[in-house]
Structure 1
Amino acid sequence: MPLGCCRRGLDIFLRPKQGRIFKCHQKKLFASASISEPWKHHSIELPVGVSGRVKLDVFSPDRRAAEGHGPRNLLVHLPPGPSIDANETPSIEVLPQLQHSFPPSTSLVSINYRLGYGIDSAILPKESTCFPVPIHDVSTAFDYLTSPTSPYNADYEEAPKICLLGSNIGGALATMLALTEPNAIHALAVVEPMIDWAGLDDIVEQLRTAETSSPISQKRQKQNATTRRGVKNQSVRAAAAELIKLRAKLFKTPSAYFDPFASPMLFLRAPGKDTPSATSVTDQLVHEAGLDLLNGYGDDDSQQSGSSTLTGLSASSHNVTETSSDENDTGPDLTPKTQPRRRKVLRRWPAVGLPESVTLPHVKIFVASQTGQDAHPVSSEAEDLARGHAALMRAQGLEMAELMRRACFLGREKSFAEEHVRVHERQTIDELEQQPEHQIQKCAVQPQGEKAQTKAKLQDAIEWVAGMFARE
């Protein structure tokens, strides 16, 4: 009798639902269960629109083995998508390590949304795919995973506890889901999400202005920018320019990236400017990069004229009047035109209904920590570009966290908002090497470089999500 009581008490203590397992024991328990009961992998193809399809990679445990390990959990993973960062971890490398990080009652679903040039030519078209296609793919897949009438939820009485995990563009799409489907999501973990395509032009213009201004004001602006971003202005500007070139391939018109579903930052604040309808700094960068109508904004057959379609200009904006001299006209006018400044007004969330009627899921944003400009005085062009990209993603992540705390928790205590929305800044390789305990590992860390940091941030996000599954 006493032995039965002790065993019952031990079972209650180790029950995953209670979330009272120590972290080290929790990892061992999950890992051993995953090894003994390998998860099954199968693919699902869902129709999207008239002729589109999206592929889901599903990793699910054996149902009989998972029944005694708490409620059903579902981790929705969104791959990073196209990026200027060569160190981005491909989705195929991420999934194996995800399988051994969660309790056996967890299923993993990776939504292989279409964007850019797809890896799987059997599912994805050979031509480049632009926004808003990935938005439709992710929304269709999420509806399939959450609908009570879906075959995925057949024979289950309760809906699964859903956590989202994404990085780069996948992080932006995951953020979009968290802001539009908050009641169905338990937690959101994003690694350096690309959540504001519309603000890239402002960064380039500000840095250009700083370089052409007077020496005193130029020095002041550079100091402010360096203090805010922690890296050289040239690195930030180069990264922003590369992202603008990438944007020209992923969006057909500026109105597509001014859509809050593509730039989730705009759900919580105004963009600060009107949607471009004239030549801007974007056109110059794309023109200098040699992106023409075949790989820039204008892929439509109806727009294959000699005029630029990089900003969705109407035909009338390029017409030359009869009194003008078009003999010397060699192309479109690429002189940047200053747009009127608007206030980046905070927007109410949710847009309709009472703020108390919905609560934002638990959010944690993983970014690189800020480093001093003197930490890496000599570096290659690729390293500078990677640091500039990390600085931009860090700035966007910090701003998104602040906007969520202000816009999504109106009338509530500040501590409640800070508890719900957190930011994790991971130390860079340079910072780790300066610490005494890491001096011995310097030779081992250096060859891995920035790619190791990308994987480390992802691993931090995985561990946090695993803890959120155990949290009520």
Structure 2
Amino acid sequence: MFSSVCRRCFSVLRSAHPPIRRSVAVTLYNVDEFSPTKALILHLPSQPDSANGVRQLPEFLYDWPVASINYRWAPERSRAASQDDEHLDVSVDWPVPMHDVAFAYQWIVDALKPPGIGRGNIYVYGSHLGAGLAMSLALTEAHPHKRFAVRGVAAYNGVYNWTMFLPGQKEVRGSKSAKDGRRENGNLRIKDLHDRLVTLFQEPHNLFDPFASPSLFFHNPGLAIPESFYRSPAFDSLVSAMKGQYDVSGEGGMLGASRRSHLAFPPRASTLKIPETLLLHDAPSSRSLLHHRPDEHGNEVQAKKQSTRQSRPRATDTRHTFRAQAAEIASFMRRSVEMVELKERFRWDPEAKDELEKEPERRVRVVEVGQEGEDLGLNDAGQQAVLDWLGSLKIR
């Protein structure tokens, strides 16, 4: 199954008072086969697992050189703390997981870079909690000019915009039935993540960190930062007004309430490039009245289900599905390829326009893999989709 399995750890220094030395586990598979002509897969599991990293590795990665990062996050607070002799009182909520991934990535680049002047490719795969981390890492480390860096990312059932869970979004504003629908429809795992928001992030402002919500690299949220995970900023302002507490600054006591608009990403002065991307997701629940189905370009098309007056289900927030999360970030990434990268190229090579017309859809692909299963693993169809995608990149 594996030609080699070994575990490496490295120390990181967190910014804390007092400073705390920590280590992040990186499990390496088949590294003896790694060479400049073969890609390294960076694996970010669906959730932390301090017990057995081998069990987490998806079957379709068995024949690849893999570095699996066992990042820490809130679900594993007690186990992570109990296995660390240096300090037992440690917080592993956001942004600890992103810090772990960033430090581990730098260690991997330094330890496994091809010898001499050889070039190597890193492709990132993450699922569920690991999918958002994988996307953030890929978007900020895809430097084509570097000898050994991220070239692509595959992500399964990721949340790429955590602010969608907050009240005040247009789709759910002022509608109790929509709020209930968000929690009872969509995907079962989405509901589970919504219930764990406080555990995962502690404070609402953490949801607005682009490294937590990578969609926010491409647009501002158009939503004020609330004081609570479950109350809208408008409600907080109303309560303050009823108590006679007014904000003399005239800003309503809220940050980031500007109108939603696009941002330039990658920054024009950077060497970043939108990586080769495969977004996999489960189908949403069939109980919803409205579905947003992606068309052939991955754009969402709204379709209504027929129902009788007696059996009509209540309205639901259809944005709270893994399909919607994938469709949103795909649209932003494709827009970036078209408006930033290709627009600049067409200025000096007009004849390439016809040839590259479908480049945004080719670069960023969206695949629905079927109904949600009982576990967090990718089904056979999804695993084959990743292998086909890797094969299309001709990296082996």
TM-score when normalising by structure 2:
0.68
Number of the residue aligned with 1:132: 95
Provide, for residues 247-273 of structure 1, a one-character-per-residue CA deviation record: whole Å limited to 9, x for no partner: 211223222221111111110111111
Give yes or no for contact 1:368–1:394 (8 Å, CA) kept in 2.
yes
Deviation (angstroms), 1:51: 1.1
Provide, for residues 312-334 of structure 1, a one-character-per-residue CA deviation record: whole Å limited to 9, x for no partner: xxxxx9xx99xxxxxxxxxxxxx
Aligned partner letter, 1:59: Y
Aligned partner letter, 2:264: R
Aligned partner letter, 1:107: P
1:424 pairs with one of 352, 360, 367: 367
Number of the residue aligned with 1:165: 125
Higher Cα radius of gyration: 1
Cα separation, 1, equivalents of 2:171 and 2:112: 49
Aligned partner letter, 2:102: S
Provide, for residues 90-125 of structure 1, a one-character-per-residue CA deviation record: whole Å limited to 9, x for no partner: 96434262443x4xxx41110111111155643597
Cα separation, 1, equivalents of 2:329 and 2:220: 13
Number of the residue aligned with 1:235: 184
Provide, for residues 173-219 of structure 1, a one-character-per-residue CA deviation record: whole Å limited to 9, x for no partner: 1111111111221211000111111221147884462347xxxxxxx
1:80 pairs with one of 12, 21, 46: 46
Aligned partner letter, 2:214: P
Deviation (angstroms), 1:155: 4.5
2:306 aligned with 1:345? no
Number of the residue aligned with 1:254: 204
- Percent identity reads 24
1:93 pairs with one of 41, 46, 55: 55
CA change 1:241–1:180 in 2 (3 A) is same
Number of the residue aligned with 2:165: 200
Number of the residue aligned with 2:375: 451
Deviation (angstroms), 1:367: 1.0
Provide, for residues 261-293 of structure 1, a one-character-per-residue CA deviation record: whole Å limited to 9, x for no partner: 1111110111111222x4562599xxxxxxxxx
Give yes or no for contact 2:142–2:152 (8 Å, CA) kept in 1.
no
Give yes or no for contact 1:239–1:388 (8 Å, CA) kept in 2.
no
Number of the residue aligned with 1:187: 152
Give yes or no for contact 1:350–1:408 (8 Å, CA) kept in 2.
no
Deviation (angstroms), 1:349: 1.1
Number of the residue aligned with 1:143: 106
Number of the residue aligned with 1:41: 5
Number of the residue aligned with 2:273: 359
In structure 2, the gaps of 5 or more residues are 14-19, 144-148, 245-252, 290-304, 306-315, 343-355
Cα separation, 1, equivalents of 2:22 and 2:221: 31
Cα separation, 2, equivalents of 1:262 and 1:368: 21
CA change 1:464–1:347 in 2 (3 A) is farther
Q: How does 1:47-58 map to 2 (within 5 A)?
A: 47-49=11-13, 50-58=20-28
TM-score when normalising by structure 1:
0.58
Give yes or no for contact 2:168–2:223 (8 Å, CA) kept in 1.
no
Number of the residue aligned with 2:216: 266
Number of the residue aligned with 2:308: none
Give yes or no for contact 1:239–1:389 (8 Å, CA) kept in 2.
no
Aligned partner letter, 2:162: W
CA change 1:240–1:463 in 2 (3 A) is closer
Give yes or no for contact 1:364–1:421 (8 Å, CA) kept in 2.
yes
1:122 pairs with one of 52, 75, 83: 83
Describe the SS at the equivalent of 1:186: strand
When the two chains are superposed, the root-mean-square deviation of aligned CA atoms in Å is 4.3
Describe the SS at the equivalent of 1:193: coil
Describe the SS at the equivalent of 1:185: strand
Give yes or no for contact 1:196–1:396 (8 Å, CA) kept in 2.
yes
Number of the residue aligned with 1:440: none
Describe the SS at the equivalent of 2:360: helix
Aligned partner letter, 2:59: Q
Greater helix fraction, Structure 1 or Structure 2: 1
Aligned partner letter, 2:136: M
CA change 1:203–1:188 in 2 (3 A) is farther
Greater strand fraction, Structure 1 or Structure 2: 2
Provide, for residues 400-431 of structure 1, a one-character-per-residue CA deviation record: whole Å limited to 9, x for no partner: 100111124315255111110010012327xx
Cα separation, 1, equivalents of 2:189 and 2:4: 40
Provide, for residues 64-109 of structure 1, a one-character-per-residue CA deviation record: whole Å limited to 9, x for no partner: xx67xx81320000011279xxxxxx96434262443x4xxx4111
Cα separation, 1, equivalents of 2:325 and 2:266: 21
CA change 1:136–1:374 in 2 (3 A) is closer
CA change 1:421–1:91 in 2 (3 A) is farther
Number of the residue aligned with 2:68: 110
Cα separation, 1, equivalents of 2:123 and 2:278: 11
Describe the SS at the equivalent of 1:373: coil
Give yes or no for contact 2:140–2:272 (8 Å, CA) kept in 1.
no
Describe the SS at the equivalent of 1:272: coil
Number of the residue aligned with 1:281: 230
Cα separation, 1, equivalents of 2:228 and 2:55: 41
Cα separation, 1, equivalents of 2:198 and 2:57: 30
Q: How does 1:299-448 map to 2 (within 5 A)?
A: 342-353=258-269, 357-370=271-284, 372-373=286-287, 392-410=321-339, 412=342, 414-428=357-371
In structure 1, the gaps of 5 or more residues are 1-34, 84-89, 213-221, 226-230, 285-310, 312-316, 322-336, 377-386, 430-448
Describe the SS at the equivalent of 2:40: strand
Deviation (angstroms), 1:154: 7.1
Aligned partner letter, 2:46: P
Aligned partner letter, 2:338: F
Aligned partner letter, 1:182: A
Describe the SS at the equivalent of 2:155: strand
Give yes or no for contact 1:115–1:129 (8 Å, CA) kept in 2.
yes
Cα separation, 2, equivalents of 1:178 and 1:107: 18
Describe the SS at the equivalent of 2:162: coil
